[in-house]
Structure 1
């Protein structure tokens, strides 16, 4: 790196024009506080494109001078650093003179200031620069100026640590090992290798960014392609729906309608042919039935004549039987009287036997009278029950039910009983229905729910044993095969009652029920449920449901009355006989003689005994004949009635058949005319269709697809709704846009694949460049370690640096650091900033690290360093240590120091620049005094 030789300032702060020599190793700027020491340093910094001491800047200094233009000029050496000419600092600018002029021109630009830099070969004065055209000077901005100086050795890395401000002499000690390693490589690293690595890494990063961008764009394009594909599908679906709607409306529905009508006409033709055949068969059957009707008429007349003849013979036989019975009855009574008298004659006059016989007769009479009384009471009850049924449509209710109904009516509660709401539709299943519903006959069905509470209270007070239910639901016809099928409810009933009947399956007998399983019941009321099977039989006189129950009860009452009469007649006859015997026995006890009567009537009794067998035989013969004729007459009448009923039935059937035949003929003619009209219309409609629409294959495919006209219309309605209500893509350019986007996606995918290949290649290049970078880094670290160890030896300090672990991996390189340790006065080692070094040791450590960066390996030169007040806050011993180190190195130092009582601060200086404060009221600052040491001071040993 170059060294400064002279510095010239024009209109810089309060300096009108100052020219200072700097051709020495150590230049000390001394003066009181505020005399412009830092101002001179900032001038050098501005000239080199560096940042001024905070918070000042070059504009502040230019503004203080009050001039329109300020100049900063320095002459630096450009001698070669080695034996080759290309080692001159400014050889890259094709300047090969030993001296080079650096200049900075600061101009007022409106309300602001602008600085520009130029580089001139040799020692050129400010006047020469001012007189030279600007285009020949090649003024440049601060950025380009920094690149020019970086080519001469003042790299940005050095610039960051070159100028140490006040109190920052230990600045480099505050660097972390990783920051120090980065700074060392930035200063010493082979620029071509560094540039190659940075270029390769930048290229890879750029490729990675481009690949990420390409992936993002590809994903975006694919998303757009997917969206366009969905839109294309939607567009195609829309076109298909339009085509389907048109086809349905113009072809499918009309053709299927015509085909359905045609099929209907074909079916009608078959029906008409079948109807005509049936009509002919009916006419044939009518002719046959007419013949049979005539035969029945003849048979009926013959059977009527025979029945009348048998009736006359039966009446004659009855009369003969009655005459024989009248003839036999007196004879039988006379013979019975004879037997009673003989029984009394046997007892004779024995009063005891007569008394005993009397008692037996009386006991028997009492027994018969009791039996007759019981039968008469039963007959009276049967008569009353029969009388109660007269004029009734429903069987009577039990007393407790009638009483509760009166209470409900009094309370104004509208109601019905289940018994009043049930009708039996099939009498075959009456016994089953009566049995199942027997316990629910008198369930109260309220008509209004608001009466429920009051009805409950009445039921509690009356102790009504049957249920009181709220308004139910209307019961519909039960399923086939269930008991509910045979029941009709005329009023709403509870749901549970309907379900009970719906669950009972009707079976013919228990054997079938066992085979079916579940809940079932037979016509004879034998029921099976989950608990088992039992009989629910109810006698006919206890039936309750419907008008048929009244008839059943009446028939049962009449049958019971006839049975009682049959039992009562023989009891009555026996009672009369016993009474007569009692009378005879009583008369015998009073002295009447049975033998006397026997003697008196002996001839009468003998004639009666002789005539009785013949009379009885005559009665039996007459009765037998009468019963035979009665049976024959009944059969003859039944036969005649059968012929008559069959004649009436067949005659009515023939009348209905003739009427049906005539109506069928009329209907056939009307349907035939209508069909002919429809056939003509169908043929006309067929002629309007294209031939390919009505081929058998086409119609068969339409039927397979749509079934019939109704389904086709429903599909047409669905398609129209879908077209009206759904969101459709109708832009016909969407397919072309999708095709273009597909091509774009393919191109982007290919481009991405190419980027991936290039990224792999770039990774390989980065890997190779990183290997070169690591080799240079190792060399650089070894070089820097050598520099600081040599500088430490000059300063009497042991310096040790640990080589970092370097591997071909960015993570390892990013974490690598340079650890440096120092040993002063034979004491233990200390690190960079561990707080164990004194103030002077901190300054020496920082200077060793800094000068080690500036030291040239071939020439041993250390460049130049600006240090603002390096001896601040240091004692005499540390000042000596710092001064000794400065003299021991070959770097150029520009130092500042205030005027102090310790002369040690001036001891290492070769040139001392003495500044003074601007006088109060003065325009410019006093001139700067220059004190130059004769000869170069000897570097001696430091006193202990």
Structure 2
């Protein structure tokens, strides 16, 4: 934990503006009663967002000075943690040796409000402080302090009441154990367990009442159910008779009339089927006619498109032909000038002109070669830098694909990034086997497959994009997988390939093996046969050996390119000098001046004339092809027109036949309608449900005819007259209401029962699990006090309590401690055998043990008057104990003590009372121990 170096208070209690140093291990605050010793400690507690002593709070102190604001500023150290980690410094991201804590208190809306800030370095309090720092709420500020080591356990100890710090030895074992649990955060959990048990008992009592009420309600439901069954049976007989009289008898009579009409209906259906057949034929012809019509329109569009293509091809042919014709004229002009030059000056001028052209061509070719070698040298230099940095260079298409995946937020890896070869002697074999897969992209999340494959399609990425990955399993003996390490999950099929491929020392050794194998130099046998698949060292891509091999190959190629560039640049300079000389010679001849001046033009025309001539020939061929396509579309249009006219005539004939059949069917329908109307009059008297065909068929199958139904009606009337029935219609509503109440109460009872059982089980299980945490807390506290006892030269033993998952055992548990001073035997906490100094030592050991934390070995402690009632020997003994620990101590003491209380103190602060009539209290006096030269040297 951190330690305090300085405290500044503005408008705190009766101090107007005061700054005191605290940069010492033991700081003694001395002064008479009421001079502000506890006020100073409460300022530190408020700065650290702790509770003030007694019943005081920070509002009490800021009200005394009658100002509307107050400031607290503290400078603390910011040591580096021993383990480093994500937060290497206590106040990370602050990395300076010191950190400044601010507390701003001001009145808002009639009440006092406080805010906190943490600033890096030793920041002074001035007019710009309020705007320069970032203010935090109390909870966020406490979280930052807890990160710096001010845990809730330490905060509980620092907030102990005044006078309690030297009376811990007077606590009973039960009270001491409760204090330990409270400091380490266990007391609140135990209180929650007790409250849960109380609530559980109340819930069990409520469950008993619900079950009793449910039993009584069930009896009432059963009585009403029996009466409801009698009413339901009586009502069913009444409804049955009514249904038979009003529905079944008329419906069956309707069915009997309908059966006589069915014969004529079958005749009508036969006529309608004939019409349907002709209409289907007409629909087929009509669909074919419309298809041909659409085809004719498409053929017409194709003909127009072919005509446009012909026009475009003709224009392109004319352009290419004109360009070739102009170049041919220019070449004829060059030949004419050459012939004049030969007549005027002989063959020497022509030879010089030819030599000049050859030299220029050679120089241009050499420049192009030098430019290509420099581009390759630049690429190799970038690859060399990447390899020296531990990165493998990739082709442009791989870099483009990876950039697109990164832009889409798709996490991925290359196969070359996760493969490492353990045995370098087999590097050739591994490279040969994995060469086809070196550019495979492995997705970190299988859910990205759809988006990644879309990007691969857009960029035409020709290698696998693999979403499924798995951990490599155990390798088969003597397999390639046995010498390969995967840094991450890999495709299962690739792992299987390496696992089923054996390592053969030679071809003869491989012939004795079953399955696939490969030799060190890359001769591979698989199911299709055997072949050499070896890879060049410069093409290695997997593992550290591949990086070194490629680095060596790139370095060698760079040396060769540098030698070639230097040699060719020398040759280029020589050619340029020769071209310059030849040009000057030619320009000096009057007969060939024009030929020399237009030499470049003639050379350019001669160079492009074959291409222009070829382009003109190609344009002519394209023109002929488009003309043929145009003729083909015209012929297709004419053939389609003939078929279109035939289908049009056939559709007209079928349409006339369908119309004749429709008129015939209309006459039959009229006759049938007349017969049906008479039947509908009978049907009108039937209920809607009974008039449905399904209902009529069911009645016919069930009763047979109307005569049988009349016999059933007579039988049921006789049964009603001779029975004793429940006839009250409200009985059903009463039954349903009571049954609903019973079901709701039963559900509530079951839910309540499940909750009680689950709550009881969870409570017992949770507390049983937490018992181990309580035991660990007590053991940790026992180690702390034993270590502190060793520093003070006192043997300390703790009697660990019996902690079981039982209410009575936990309620009676207590923590007893025994101390051995000067080898005089063990004594208890408050058994009356210890002196005043020994009592103080006991309390200090118990107090500091509450604050010890292995993760935060240093820190600070507030101790209120630890030297009260101590003699000189015990004062020195307590002081020596405090100096032996690593913590910083802020101790208060009254002026009446012996001067030995200042023995362990490195810094003494003296407070003084406010004088009557004065508005502000005097400043705090400071006394610092002088450090001897020897101590300074050794320190």
Query: What TM-score bracket applies, with the shorter chain setting the length?
Result: 0.3 to 0.5
Task: Tell me which structure has the larger Cα radius of gyration.
Answer: 1
Q: TM-score, normalised by structure 2?
A: 0.41
Q: TM-score, normalised by structure 1?
A: 0.41
